[in-house]
Amino acid sequence: MSIKISPSVLTSDFLSLKDDIKKLEVAGTDMLHLDVMDGIFVPNISFGVPVIKSIKKHSTVPLDVHLMIDRPHRYIKEFAEFADVLGFHYEAGSDVAMTLKEIRNLGCKSCLTIKPCTEPEEIFEFLPLCDMVLVMSVEPGFGGQSFMPSALPKLEKLRKEIDRLGLDIDLEVDGGINRETAPLAVKAGANVLVAGNYVFSAEDMSAVIKEIKNLK
């Protein structure tokens, strides 16, 4: 399975976002990971629909939108207009099956996300409704945190169940991905890697993107 990278723009300088997006695209990024935070579900506020709408105008790669908002079903329609993959948290207080179905009905790929406190078995029943599953390897809310190794057995269990069910689901990991942790996540079964600080603090963004995509 080829490894895809979805750089998180959360830690970039938003005023140079247009140039950064171009650089990421030239470097061969597969997607752009956009972190939406509401200050309620997570203790931080980032950006919402208007910013994603502008990014959509200027990007040629799929937008991977990670909603960290309370009761996300209230905003699915708005985000679905610009997202390609639309993900929300299992813990955020929406009806999980209904929200996943709505995302697909609106023409987006659906993604169900779990926080470090959630066991993978809790979401097994929803896998047939998911195009992607996202395992958080940090507490959601901030970029630049350290990778939690407890994410690794979760990725393993999810990959095993996805294979057992014969489903075609991307398994994404988000938080603290760098040169050391990326190979561990891939070995555990992840095939989509989010990276924020690692990509944006690199002197050579393109080298970092290639390095991750070449993992096996």
Which residue minimizes CB distance to ligand DX5? 196
Tell me if residue 35 is catalytic: yes
Ordered DSSP codes for 123-179: GGGGGGG-SEEEEESS-TT-SSPPPPTTHHHHHHHHHHHHHHHT---EEEEESS-ST
Q: What is the radius of gyration, based on Cα positions, of the chain?
A: 16
Query: Is residue 87 at the binding interface for ligand DX5, with CB under 6 A as the rule?
Result: no
Q: Which is nearer to ligand DX5, 118 or 161 (CB)?
A: 118
User: CA 86 to CA 5: how far, in whole Å?
Assistant: 16
Residues 23-42, mask of contacts with ligand DX5 (x by CB under 6 A): ----------x-x-------
Does residue 175 interact with ligand DX5 by CB under 6 A?
Answer: yes
Tokens of 174: 């988000």
Type of residue at 131: D
Tokens of 105: 């009905």
Which residue in the set 51, 84, 91, 145 belongs to the binding site for ligand DX5 (CB under 6 A)?
Answer: 145
- Phi and psi angles of residue 162, each rounded to the nearest 5 degrees, phi first: -60, -45
Compare residues 7 and 120 and give the one whose CB is closer to Zn ion: 7
Residue 71 DSSP code: S
Using CB under 6 A as the binding rule, whether residue 66 contacts ligand DX5 is answered as yes
Q: Which is nearer to ligand DX5, 161 or 173 (CB)?
A: 173
- Member of 197, 206, 211, 213 binding ligand DX5 (CB under 6 A): 197
Contact 84, 114 (CB under 8 A): no
Pick from 141, 154, 171, 188 the residue near ligand DX5 by CB under 6 A.
Answer: 141
Answer yes or no: 70 catalytic.
no
Residue 108 binds ligand DX5 (CB under 6 A): no
Residue nearest to Zn ion (CB): 66
Give least dist CB 163 to ligand DX5, A. 26
Pick the catalytic residue: 35, 38, 64, 170?
35
Q: Between vectors from CA 66 to CA 65 and to CA 69, what angle results, nearest 5°?
A: 120
Residue appearing with tokens 């690199």? 202
138 binds, among ligand DX5, Zn ion, none (CB under 5 to 8 A by kind): ligand DX5
Contact 210, 193 (CB under 8 A): no
Answer yes or no: are the C-beta atoms of 115 and 131 closer than 8 Å. no
Please work out the total of residues on this chain that contact ligand DX5, with binding judged by CB under 6 A: 22
User: Which residue numbers are catalytic?
Assistant: 35, 174
Residues found near ligand DX5 in the complex (CB under 6 A): 8, 10-11, 33, 35, 66, 138, 140-145, 174-177, 194-198
